[in-house]
């Protein structure tokens, strides 16, 4: 009797935790399809009008493109720089390689707020005008450690004898990289790139301090919510959520492939 009571208490507790975790998310998704502008129950029926509103609004569209631009440039730069750094640090035992490694990881330990303020005062002092480029620079500092972590963990397991075998078979440095190293580390580069993209895509703190005239998507959402109760925020948030889910799923798939 007491055992059954305890079991059902545990069940109720578990359900409550999940409700607490997922109810807000479910509400946002639900009300993004609401027919009317109300943000509270009752629900008035399904419609896609808020999605249309998002896609037709120039400020949202510009913000999506701005966010995409920042994220894509961050990914490209970080993949090149982070891969080179990862190979350098894991393969060559040069003087100070440990210090380089620590400094490459370090920005991940800093609060975003601190990085944002530091960058702002740096840009002000060096008289660099704030723009999406300064945002991109800030994102690079913030995302590089994460990419570096993903790539070095793969490179540490990389069998450099394979590169010797390739050289022995007639492959020069570039051919060795392109035909042996790159195909073998590609899954972790893609996983790292996805992580970087999603970090940059919804970054707020650093962006807030380093942004110029243009806005990124998270900042537009924030200011929209601050100004008025606009249900289109629900729609754009749901879009963000869907995007993130796709990313998380892809990374998990890749991680499974990597373990084979």
Partner 1 sequence: MTGDGRSYLCVDSVTKLFDGTAAVQDFELEIAAGEFVSLLGPSGCGKTTLLRIVAGLEFPDTGRILLDGRDITATPAHKRPVNMVFQRVTLFPHLNVFDNIAFGLRLRRTSAAETRTRVGDALDLVRLPGFAERAVRTLSGGQAQRVALARAIVNRPKVLLFDEPLSALDLQIRRELQQELKDIHRELQGTFVYVTHDQEEAMSMSDRVVVMRGGVIVQVGDPVELYRSPTSLFVASFVGSPNVWPGTVAAVEDRRVVVAVGDRRLEASPPTAPVRPGDRVALVLRSEVLTLSDGVPDDAAPSLCAVEGTVADVRFVGAVVSYRIDLGDRRLTVSRSSQTEILAEGTRVTVAWNPRDALLLSADEERTP
Alpha-helical regions (H) of the chain: 2-32, 49-56, 58-91, 97-105, 112-125, 132-155, 161-168, 173-176, 182-201, 205-210, 217-227, 232-259
Taking CB under 8 A as the binding criterion, the range among 23-31, 147-155, 161-169, 244-252 that sits at the site for partner 1 is 161-169
**Under rule CB under 8 A, residue 156 binds partner 1:** no
| 183 forms part of the interface with partner 1 (CB under 8 A) | yes
Residue (52 or 157) nearer to partner 1, CB: 157
Q: Kindly state the number of chain residues that form the binding site for partner 1, as judged by CB under 8 A.
A: 18
Identity of the residue, 74 or 83, whose beta carbon is nearer to partner 1 in the bound complex? 83
Phi then psi for residue 46, to 5 deg, are -80, 145
- Select the span of 65-73, 130-138, 143-151, 171-179 touching partner 1 (CB under 8 A): 171-179
Residue 180 engages partner 1 in binding (rule: CB under 8 A) = yes
Residue span binding partner 1 (CB under 8 A) among the ranges 52-60, 61-69, 126-134, 180-188: 180-188
- Residue 159 beta carbon to partner 1: minimum distance, rounded to whole angstroms: 7
C-alpha span between 236 and 231 (Å, rounded): 9
- Residue of the chain from 93, 161, 227, 259 that contacts partner 1 (CB under 8 A): 161
Q: What would the 3-class secondary structure string for 138-194 be?
A: HHHHHHHHHHHHHHHHHHCCCCCHHHHHHHHCCCCHHHHHHHHHHHHHHHHHHHHHH
């Amino acid at each position: 009797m007491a055992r059954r009571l305890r079991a059902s208490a545990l069940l109720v507790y578990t359900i409550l935790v999940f409700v607490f975790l997922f109810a807000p998310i479910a509400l946002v998704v639900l009300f993004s399809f609401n027919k009317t502008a109300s943000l509270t129950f009752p629900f008035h029926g399904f419609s896609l009008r808020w999605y249309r509103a998002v896609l037709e609004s120039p400020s949202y569209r510009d913000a999506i493109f701005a966010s995409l631009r920042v994220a894509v440039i961050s990914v490209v730069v970080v993949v090149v720089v982070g891969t080179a750094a990862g190979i350098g640090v894991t393969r060559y035992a040069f003087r100070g390689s440990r210090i380089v490694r620590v400094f490459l990881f370090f920005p991940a330990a800093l609060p975003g707020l601190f990085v944002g303020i530091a960058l702002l005062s740096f840009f002000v002092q060096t008289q660099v005008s704030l723009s999406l480029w300064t945002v991109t620079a800030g994102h690079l500092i913030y995302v590089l450690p994460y990419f570096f972590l993903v790539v070095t963990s793969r490179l540490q397991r990389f069998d450099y004898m394979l590169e010797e075998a390739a050289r022995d078979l007639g492959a020069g440095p570039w051919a060795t990289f392109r035909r042996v190293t790159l195909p073998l580390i590609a899954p972790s580069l893609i996983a790292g790139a996805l992580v970087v993209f999603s970090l940059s895509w919804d970054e707020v703190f650093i962006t807030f301090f380093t942004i110029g005239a243009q806005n990124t998507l998270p900042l537009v959402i924030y200011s929209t919510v601050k100004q008025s109760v606009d249900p289109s925020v629900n729609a754009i948030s749901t879009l963000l959520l869907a995007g993130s889910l796709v990313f998380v799923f892809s990374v998990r798939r890749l991680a499974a492939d990597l373990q084979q």
